Structure 1
Amino acid sequence: MKVAVTGAAGFVGTNLINQLVADGHDVVAIDRVSPAHAIDHAQVTWLSADIFDQPALESAFDGVDTVYHLVAMITLKQKDELAWRVNTEGVASTARAALAAGVRRFVHCSSIHSFDQYTDNGVVVETSRRSEDPELPVYDRSKWAGEQELRKVIAEGLDAVICNPTGVYGPVDHGLSRINGMLRDAAQGKVPLFPEGTFDLVDVRDVALGLTLAAEHGVTGENYLLGGEQVRLFDAMRIVAKDCGRPRPIAALPLGVLKVFVPLIEPIGHRLGSDLVSKASIAALVAQPTVDITKARTVLGYQPRSSADTLSDLDAFLADSRQMGSARPKSGRRFTSVVPA
């Protein structure tokens, strides 16, 4: 089967292509950049295209059965015009190109952040309150708005489903996401302190598989939460540091203490181009919702792996890809991709 992936050079895109190739599909990999670690495989054809160039996308989608739309701009900023446009208008443009090209199915990779994390009962399900509050970060609001744009195209006849991954981590990751970057630093013994807090983390390989399961079994117009396991980030950092024989984080900083300093630290980070320490990043840890993935398990047959397996594989991948300096897992474990990258 011929399928297309937008945002193919990214973190989720790389792992999705691995999965699709392993499943025997021919993949049209679409991105605006030429990744240094692009998957070089006979079943993968790379195309450069802009998601706002609808005619180019229609041409790229010619003869394609399924489109996986992964393009998104992740930010913790309160306002960002480009992020808003990419995450809303970009979804609409890509979806309309798919409809015009006669694509059979469209799978949109949204985010858990399109749901308001502060639920009444502390549990997020597919029917939970959405991210409409104007006080929420632009990423949260734009991901929900992007889903609304997609629903307009569904009403015009597009067969589409929506997946909402939680915090994505694990291998393969050549650019290092925020979470993977922090875990890499911990594995090198560079994180003596870290904020208290837990978050539902999901292995990127499980997200990739979940997207393909949604393409096969998902119901048109439905959302599916792709979660993994509730992980205390401080514990995860201690695990990877111990596995690599490096000093483990000493203490978890109470969130109440950290919130006092955020108003002072956030402006400095903003001037340095960083949003790691911000009201939004702390809010994500404070909310700590439980994500109920019963619907994905029941309808899609989705079964995520344990955090222990992900952390072990991540350590091995980072060491094998030389992203950890001299740090290496004590087990000597090696990481093998689904297909050569």
Structure 2
Amino acid sequence: MRIAVTGAGGYVARNLVPTLVSQGHTVTAVDGSPTLPWTAEAAVRAVRADVRDAPAMRAALDGTDLVFHLAARITLRQTDPLAWSVNTDGVRTVARAALAVGVGRLVHCSSVHAYDLASGVIDETSPRAVRAGLPVYDRSKARGELELARVVDAGLDAVTVNPTGIYGPVDHVGRLAPTNAVLRRAALGTAFLDVAGGFDFVDVRDVVAGLLLAARLGRTGEGYLLAGERLVMHEMLGAVAGLLGRRPPLLTVPFACARAIGVVAGPLSRRDGVDALSPAALGTLRAAPHVCSGKARRELGYAPRPSRETLRDTAAFLVTSGALRRTRARTGR
């Protein structure tokens, strides 16, 4: 099968593209960055293009049977014009291009953040992230899904998956995804404190499995939450530290104190690729919704692995990849 992957330089794609190649597919890897890790692969054609560029998207997707739209800009800011544009205009442009050139199906990788996390319990019927004051990432992901729905109404066969917090191997060693960057600090034994609360985290390999299942079995126009397991931050960081014989965090900070600490420590943590004390990050941990992936389990056969396996494999990856020898890690998807 001929498959296109947008956001091909990102974290999820780093796991998806090799899987597609191993299954015998030919892949068009679309990304705005000048270099991609698979340029030596005979089965991968690298295309440098902006997902908001309509002619470039039509050219890149022409002749493909299936598109995985992974391109997104992740940010913890309240406002970010580029993130809004990529996460909304980018979805619309890619979807319209797919419809125009006759792509058989598009699978859009959105996020649990497209839902209002303050809902408490989240399933596919829960309120969307449209409230004023929510982080721009949340609002833009919700709007991106609306843009896709309009193109589906025009005739595109598309489905959406909504992963929770993604972590696990394999990642970009030089710019670890946000949760992996936090786990790296625990693995180094330099996570002196953590914040009260937790979240639902899902292994990136299970996200890839969910994307492939949605491509085969998902119903047109439907969305599927891909949850993993709800983890308490203190236990999560302590588990990784313990696996490598490092000291676990010494103190769990209440949310009220964390906000005050974040004013001073936030800029320092961002310098090392960790933004766990930003208002958006703290808000996510405080909301700590229960995310239901029953629909994906019933309709797709989605079956995520236990968190202990992901934490073990992440600790091993951080060691074998050399990530623990680096002095800094930058966040990225």
Q: If the TM-score is normalised by the length of the shorter chain, which range does it land in?
A: over 0.9
Q: 1:149 to 1:125 in 2, by over 3 A?
A: same
- Segments of structure 2 that go 5 or more residues without pairing to the other structure are 327-333
Residues 177-188 of structure 1: matches in 2 within 5 Å?
A: 177-188=177-188
TM-score, structure 1 normalization:
0.90
Residues 1-341 of structure 1: matches in 2 within 5 Å?
A: 1-35=1-35, 37-38=37-38, 40-119=40-119, 122-174=120-172, 175-262=175-262, 275-325=275-325
Q: 1:319 to 1:40 in 2, by over 3 A?
A: farther
Q: 1:266 to 1:187 in 2, by over 3 A?
A: closer
**1:233: how far off?**
1.6
Q: Secondary structure at the match of 1:173?
A: coil
Distance 2:188 2:271 in 1: 27
The 8 Å contact of residues 9 and 38 in structure 1, kept in 2 or not, is answered as no
CA RMSD after TM alignment: 2.0
**1:289: how far off?**
0.5
Q: Deviations over 1:269-318 (max 9, x none)?
A: 89999854222111100001010000000001101011111111111112
Q: Secondary structure at the match of 1:315?
A: helix
The 8 Å contact of residues 19 and 209 in structure 1, kept in 2 or not, is answered as no
**1:156: how far off?**
1.0
Identical pairs, percent: 49
Q: Deviations over 1:192-229 (max 9, x none)?
A: 11111110000001101101110110011111001100
Distance 1:199 1:123 in 2: 12
Distance 1:274 1:286 in 2: 18
Q: 1:263 to 1:181 in 2, by over 3 A?
A: closer
Q: 1:186 to 1:206 in 2, by over 3 A?
A: same
Q: Secondary structure at the match of 1:63?
A: coil
Q: Deviations over 1:49-101 (max 9, x none)?
A: 11122112111112111100011111111111111011100100011111111
Distance 1:322 1:258 in 2: 31
**1:254: how far off?**
1.8
For 1:71, give the aligned amino acid: A
For 1:147, give the aligned amino acid: E
The 8 Å contact of residues 36 and 46 in structure 2, kept in 1 or not, is answered as no
Distance 1:272 1:209 in 2: 31
The 8 Å contact of residues 3 and 65 in structure 1, kept in 2 or not, is answered as yes
The 8 Å contact of residues 109 and 164 in structure 1, kept in 2 or not, is answered as yes
**1:18: how far off?**
2.1
Q: 1:20 to 1:180 in 2, by over 3 A?
A: same
- Segments of structure 1 that go 5 or more residues without pairing to the other structure are 327-341
TM-score, structure 2 normalization:
0.92
The 8 Å contact of residues 31 and 47 in structure 1, kept in 2 or not, is answered as yes
**1:133: how far off?**
0.3
Q: Secondary structure at the match of 2:242?
A: helix
Distance 2:39 2:200 in 1: 29
Q: 1:272 to 1:234 in 2, by over 3 A?
A: closer
> Which residue matches 1:336?
none
Q: Secondary structure at the match of 1:42?
A: coil
Q: Secondary structure at the match of 1:284?
A: helix
Distance 1:266 1:208 in 2: 32
**1:266: how far off?**
5.7
